[in-house]
Amino acid sequence: MAKLFRAVIMGPPGSGKGTISERIAQSFGLKHLSSGDFLRENIAANTEAGVLAKTYIERGLMVPDNVMTRLLLPRLEEMTRHSWLMDGFPCTLAQAKALNSTCDLDLVISLNIPYETLKDRLSDRWIHPASGRVYNRGFNPPRVQGRDDLSGEPLIQHDNDQPEALVARLRHYKDVAKPVIDLYKSKGILHTFSGTETDRIWPYINSLLSTKIPSRPETDTQHIPMP
């Protein structure tokens, strides 16, 4: 069996983690795992952790490290037959250390996007809450304005995507992500990509990954929720 590939994508809110993860999943057949989607699934299923996580997310707070690691690490350990790309975890040093003790990462992608770009993108980010699918009126608009392409359900905007909340979210991201980025840099697995457009960053990520994972001709891989 080919060696499994395990990667993490990091970046501030709006940096394109979800968008780029989907492209990587399609091009290279990795499973796209998203901490946000996983939390939403647990909330929908009313699991004990989901009920607890909801109380934080509703208040715009991060879910505590121990809840995140208890939820996610067993799932990652179960993924013994698939290569994966994790989006949204780890986002603190404690989470990164816990992940480290569970598996060896091959690669970490860090997205470095200017503040003005993040602000513009997020103020126009529309979300389908049930699935986590995201749209942007200029970049990837829904087929019908205000409606999810697959379900036809209404799209919403998050209050914390608006510029007033963004400065605090970015400051928080910088504070908690810095030691995580330093850790991955010291391990020699960090690759940082800077720019204002996903379409211009993507070819560089694509060629980096092509040197590490064989690309797949078929494009049948969709976003796959965690088991």
Ligand X SMILES: Nc1nc2c(ncn2[C@@H]2O[C@H](COP(=O)(O)OP(=O)(O)O)[C@@H](O)[C@H]2O)c(=O)[nH]1
Ligand Y SMILES: Nc1ncnc2c1ncn2[C@@H]1O[C@H](COP(=O)(O)OP(=O)(O)OP(=O)(O)O)[C@@H](O)[C@H]1O
Distance CA 49, CA 62 (A): 14
Residue 113 near residue 59, CB atoms below 8 Å: no
Binding footprint of ligand X, residue count (CB under 6 A): 19
Closest separation in Å from C-beta 25 to ligand Y: 16
Torsion angle of C-alpha atoms 174, 179, 181, 184, degrees rounded to 10: -170
Residue 9 near residue 17, CB atoms below 8 Å: yes
Task: Find how far residue 38's CA is from the centre of its chain.
Answer: 11
Cβ proximity to ligand X: between 19 and 69 the closer is 19
Pick the closest to residue 169 from 119, 124, 130, 131 (CA basis): 119
- Cα→Cα distances 186→14, 99, 190, Å: 26, 16, 8
Binding region for ligand Y (CB under 6 A) out of 24-32, 83-91, 185-193, 204-212 = 83-91
Residues 20, 22, 24, 26, CA torsion sign: negative
Write out the binding residues for ligand Y, residues 59-78 only, by CB under 6 A.
62-63, 68
Closest separation in Å from C-beta 39 to ligand Y: 5
Cβ proximity to ligand X: between 16 and 50 the closer is 16
Cβ proximity to ligand Y: between 109 and 213 the closer is 109
Closest separation in Å from C-beta 207 to ligand Y: 25
Q: Which SS3 state, helix, strand or coil, does residue 7 take? A: strand
Write out the binding residues for ligand X, residues 112-131 only, by CB under 6 A.
121, 125
Tell me if 95 is assigned to a ligand binding site.
yes
Asked whether position 173 contacts ligand X by CB under 6 A, the answer is no
Residue list, annotated binding site for a ribonucleoside 5'-triphosphate = 14-19, 125, 134-135, 198
Residue list, annotated binding site for AMP = 35, 40, 95, 169
Residues binding ligand Y (CB under 6 A): 13-14, 18, 35-36, 39, 56-57, 62-63, 68, 88-89, 91, 95, 132
